[in-house]
Structure 1
Amino acid sequence: MGGLPRQFWFLWTGTLINRLGSFVVIFMAIYLTTQRHFSQSQAGLVIGFYGVGGAIGTTVGGVLADRWGRRPTMLSAQFGAAALMLALGFAYGYWPVLAVTFLLGVVTEAVRPAFSAMMVDVVPDRDRVRAYSLNYWAINLGFALSAVGAGLAAKADYLLLFVIDAGSTLITAVISLIFLAETGPATPSPVRARRSPGIGAALRDRTFVVYLVISLGSIVVMMQHLSTLPIAMAADGLSAATYGWVIAVNGVLIVLGQLFVPKLIEGFDRSRVLALAALIIGVGFGLGAFANTAWFFALTVVIWTLGEMLQSPSNAATVAALSPASLRGRYQGLNSLSWSAGTALAPIVGGFTQEHLGDTALWSGCFGVGALVAIGHLVTGPRRERRIAQLQATPASDAPIRVATPATTPAATPVPPAADDPVTESRV
C-alpha cells in the first residue's frame, strides 16, 4: 500500500464510501415489485433502462473527460446522481420511475471514464496493477457490506435506501470537490483527434466482436443476481434482509479469494479457463431451479461466484491481448459497452421469462446459456490465440498519448489507460 500518490487515496476513499452506500440497485427489483407493485416484466424494463442510460453515460462521460476535464465531469455527474437518487425515491407511477431511472443510469455511469482516466493519470505504470487491485478490493468490500446494510434499512423504510445512497454519493462528490485536482490535458489536440481512427476500426475486428458476442451470454446470466434472483427469493417467502446477506456472500468471497486466482490459473489456456468459468456460472444459476431456502440460494451464489472469479482476470487478459496498441481505448470502450448491454438485457429477458414461463424455465435457461458460452469459447479459442500471437509479433505503430499530471501529486509517468474490470463496472 506504500508509495501510491496522495490523490489516488482520495479516489480510493471515495470509491469505498460510494460502494458502502450503494443500496438502491441491489434492492431495486424487490422495491419495484413489492412497494410500487410493478410486474416482473415492468420491473425488468425499468432496471434495463438503467443499463441503457449507463451505456449512453459511459460514452458521453468518456468524451467529456477528455474535452471538458476529469474533475468537472466527475463533479457534475456525482452531484446529479445524488439529486436523481432522491428524486427516484419520491417518484410514483411507472413512467416517472422509468424516466428517472434512465437519467440516473446516464449520470451515474458518466463518472466512470473520468474516474478511471484520473487514476491512470496519477498512478505510475509500475504501481498500476497494485492500485487497481486495491480499488477492486474496495469495490467488493463495499458491495458486500452494503448488501447487508441495505437489507436492514429496507426493513425500516425503503425510502431510507434512497436517502443513504444519495448521501454516500454526495459525500463522494464533496471529496472530489475539495481534494481532487484536475489531471487531464490543459487543451485538447485537434490534430490528434482528426488522425485518430473511430470506433469502426475496432468493430471491423471480427475475432474481437465474436468474442464480445459470446461473452455477452455470460454477462446476461450473471446480471440475474440483481433482477430476477431477489424476485425469486421473495416469491419463496424470504425477506429483503435475507437476500441482502445471501448476495453479500458474493462480495465476501471475492474480497477473500480473488487475489489468489491469477496465480491459480497461470499457465492454463485462456479459452479453456473462460469456458470452465462460463460453465460454473451456468451451473450456479441453474441450481436456482431447485432452491427454496436461504442456505440453498447462498450455495448457488458460492458456485457462480467461483465462476465469476475465474472469468474476471481471464476476460481482462483476453481483451487486453486482443487490443492493438494504437486502439486500446476503443477496444476497452467496446468491452465496457458490452457489459452495459448485458446489464440492460438481463432484467428485460430474465423478467419476461420469469413472469411468463416461471423460475424453473429461467434458471434452466441460465444453465443452457452458460453451456453454450463455454462451447463458444472452446470453438473460437484457437482463432483468438492466433490473432493474439500476430499482435504480439507486430510492433506498436503509435506512441502512447501522454497527459498532464496534477501539481498536487507526485510526478508520474503518464501511460495509456489500463483496462477496467468489467464485472466491477457492472456493480453500481
Structure 2
Amino acid sequence: MLIKLRKTYDRYPSQFWLLAGGMFISMLGATMIWPFLLIYVSKRLQMPLVQIATLMTINAIFGVAFTFIAGPLTDKFGRKWIMIAGLLINAIIYLFMIRADTYLSFAILMALAGSAGPLYRIGADAMITDLIPEIKRLEAFALIRIAKNIGVSLGPAIGGILASISYSITFSIAAAGMVFFGTLLIFFAKETLPTQRNTRKTTSNSPKLGYSYILHDKAFVAMIAIYSFGWITSALMWIMLPVYANQNYGIPENIYGLIPTTNALIVIFFQVFVTKKTKRFRTLPMMALGMAFYALGTGSVALGHNFWGFWLSVVIITIGELIIVPTSSAYVANLAHPDMRGRYMGIYNLAWSFARGAGPLMGGWLSDAFGATSIWYGGLMVGTLSTLGLLLLSMRETREKTIAL
C-alpha cells in the first residue's frame, strides 16, 4: 500500500501536491459556510426564500462577469498571483459577513464573493493543466477532487456544529483557511504560465483571437450550454436542499452537515476507481450518464421526508458527480491551447456560476408559486433535458467522425 502511494506521489510534480493540499484547506473552510449560508442569511434578515435566493443570483451574475475577466488575466499575468488575490479577497468577505445585517450589505458581499471566486478557480485549473501532461490529466483532476472532498468531508460536519454555537467562529476559521492557502502559494508556488517559446509551436497556426476563437467552436459551446443548464440540479441540491430540509422538516445544521460529509467520503474512496472505468469510454456519453444520475437524485428529494431520504438523494447525485466532473474537466483541459487555458477553463467554470444563480432563483420561485416540493420536480425536468441534450451531441459527434472517415 505504501509503495503504491509512493508511486502515485512520484507521478506528479511537488507543486501539484502543494495545490492539492491547499485545496483541501480552502475547501475545509469554504464548506464550513456555504451549505448553511442561506440558513444564516434567512435567520438574520427574516425574509421570504425567493428574496433570500436572489443573493445567490447576484453572486452568480458577478461570477459570470468575472469569469470572462479572470481567464484573460490568468493568460496574461500568470496563475499564481491571480489565485492569491482571489483567496485573500474571499477571506476578507467572510469576516465582513459576521457583521452584515441588511439585505444591501449581504448583496454587496455576495457580489464581491462572486467576483473573487473565478480568480482562484480558473487560476488553479489553468495551473494544473500547465503542470500535468495530457495523458495524466484525467487522473490528476480526479486526485484534486479527492483532496477537495477530504476538506468537504470535514467542513460541513464541523461547520454545522460550530454554526449551532456561533456563526462568527465559523466565518473566522473559514477566513483563516483562505489566508493560510494564499500564504503557501506566496512562498512555495512557482508561476506556471507557459512562455512564448514553449507555446510557439502549438499556436503558430492558431492565431490568438481571445474568446472569439473559442466561441466559434460550435460543438464545444453547445456542450458548455447544455452542461451549464443541467448543472442547475447541482445548485438545487447544494444550495436549496439545506434550507428545504431545515424549514420544512426541522433538520438542524449540525445534523444536516453529515449529508455533504457522506458525499465527500464517497468521492474520496471511489473517485479513482470510477475514473479508471470511465476513461475507457467516450466523454459525452459518460457526461450524459452522470447527468442522468443528477436528474434522478434531484427528483427523488420530492419523495424524501426525513434525514435518510435526503441522504439517499445526495448519494444518487454523488454517483453522477464521480462520473461527470473529472471527465468534463479533462475534456476541456485537453481542448485548450497552452496560451488560452485560462479562457477555456473560464468558459468551463461558467457552468457553476450560471447554475448558482439560476438554480436558487428557479427553486425559490417554484417553492413560492407551487409549493416547496415543486423545486425537485423542476430539477428532475432540467436534469432530464440536459441528459438528452448531451446524448444528442454525442450522436452528432459520432456521425461527424463517421462522415470524416
Normalised by the size of structure 1, how large is the TM-score? 0.82
Deviation at 1:11, TM superposition (A): 2.2
Counterpart of 1:423? Answer: none
1:303: how far off? Answer: 1.2
Encode CA deviations 1:90-144: one digit per residue, 9 max, x unaligned: 1110011111111022113212232333334445566545543322210111112
Counterpart mapping for 1:101-116 below 5 A: 101-116=110-125
**Unmatched runs of 5 consecutive residues or more in structure 1:** 394-428
Partner of 1:33: 42
Q: 1:71 aligns with which of 65, 80, 89?
A: 80
Deviation at 1:78, TM superposition (A): 2.1
How many angstroms does 1:260 deviate by? 1.5
Tell me, what secondary structure is at the counterpart of 1:162? helix
1:90 corresponds to = 99
More helix per residue: 2
Q: Give the Å deviation of 1:387.
A: 4.5
Match in the other structure for 1:203: 215
Match of 1:57 in 2: 66
Q: Secondary structure at the match of 1:62?
A: helix
What is the total number of aligned residue pairs between the two structures? 391
Given that 1:28 and 1:47 are in contact with CA atoms closer than 8 Å, whether structure 2 keeps it comes out as no
| Pairing 1:115-264 to 2, within 5 Å after superposition | 115-123=124-132, 128-184=137-193, 195-235=207-247, 236-264=249-277
Which residues of 2 match residues 3-14 of structure 1 at below 5 A? 3=10, 4-14=12-22
Distance in 1 separating the partners of 2:104 and 2:55: 9
Cα distance per residue 1:179-221 (max 9 Å; x no partner): 22334367999x9899402312332333333222222232001
Code of the residue aligned with 1:6 in structure 2: it is S
1:312 alignment partner, SS class: helix
- 1:284 and 1:275 map into 2 onto residues whose CA distance is 14
Work out whether residues 122 and 342 of structure 2, in 8 Å CA contact, stay in contact via their aligned partners in 1. no
- Residues 314 and 118 (structure 1), Cα distance of their counterparts in 2 relative to 1, 3 Å cut: closer
Whole-angstrom distance in 2 between the partners of 1:269 and 1:124: 19
Structure 2 counterpart of 1:337, one-letter code: L
2:288 aligned residue (269, 275, 278)? 275
User: Structure 1 counterpart of 2:186, which letter?
Assistant: L
1:20 maps to what in 2? Answer: 28
Question: What residue identity is the alignment partner of 2:227?
Answer: S
Aligned residue number for residue 5 of structure 2: none
Contact 1:88 1:101 in 2 (8 A): no
Q: CA deviation at 1:19?
A: 1.1
Taking structure 1 as reference, are residues 341 and 41 closer, same or farther at Cα in structure 2, changes over 3 Å only? same
Task: Quote the residue 1:370 is aligned against.
Answer: 383
* Structure 1 residue 297 corresponds to structure 2 residue 306: no
Higher deviation after alignment, 33-42 or 167-176:
33-42
Distance 1:246 1:359 in 2: 20
| Structure 1 range deviating more: 318-327 or 372-381 | 318-327
Deviation at 1:355, TM superposition (A): 2.5
Structure 1 82/255 Cα, relative in aligned 2: closer, same or farther at 3 Å?
same
1:223 CA drift (Å): 1.1
Bigger drift between 177-186 and 216-225 goes to: 177-186
AA in 1 matched with 2:394: G
Query: What is the deviation of 1:158?
Result: 1.4
Greater shift after overlay, 275-284 or 264-273?
Answer: 264-273
Q: For the residues of structure 2 that align with 1:162 and 1:45, how far apart are their CA atoms?
A: 21
Alignment match, 2:109:
100
Residues 126-135 or 342-351, more deviating:
126-135
Distance in 2 (CA, whole Å) between partners of 1:362 and 1:103 is 28
Deviation at 1:75, TM superposition (A): 2.6
Q: Could you tell me which of 2, 25, 32 is aligned with 2:9?
A: 2
Cα separation, 2, equivalents of 1:385 and 1:314: 18
Distance 1:389 1:100, change over 3 A: farther
Distance change >3 Å, CA 64–CA 32, structure 1 → 2: same
Q: Which amino acid aligns with 1:154?
A: A
CA–CA separation in structure 2 for the residues paired with 1:165 and 1:213:
32
CA 1:287/1:164 → structure 2, altered by over 3 Å: closer, same or farther? same
Cα distance in structure 2, aligned partners of 1:121 and 1:324: 10
Q: Distance in 2 between matches of 1:254 and 1:123?
A: 21
Quickly say closer, same or farther: Cα 1:390–1:100, change in 2 above 3 A. Answer: farther
Aligned 8 A contact 1:74 1:111 in 2:
yes
**Structure 1 residue aligned with 2:357:** 344
Instruction: From the superposition, tell whether residues 188 and 158 of structure 1 become closer, same or farther in structure 2 (CA, over 3 Å).
Output: farther
Alignment identity in percent? 27
What is the DSSP-based 3-state SS (H/G/I as helix, E as strand, rest coil) of the residue aligned with 2:98? helix
Change (3 A) 1:379 1:216: same
Q: 1:320 to 1:130 in 2, by over 3 A?
A: closer
CA RMSD of aligned residues (A): 3.0
Retained in 1: the 8 A contact 2:251–2:307? yes
Q: Following the alignment from structure 1 to structure 2, what is the Cα–Cα distance between the partners of residues 259 and 325?
A: 26
Deviation at 1:328, TM superposition (A): 6.5
Partner of 2:4: none
Q: Does the CA-based 8 Å contact 1:145-1:248 persist in structure 2?
A: yes
Question: In the aligned structure 2, how far is the partner of 1:2 from the partner of 1:243?
Answer: 34
> SS at 1:90's partner residue?
coil
Matching residue's letter, 2:111:
F
- Checking the alignment, whether the CA contact within 8 Å between 1:207 and 1:383 is kept in structure 2 is no
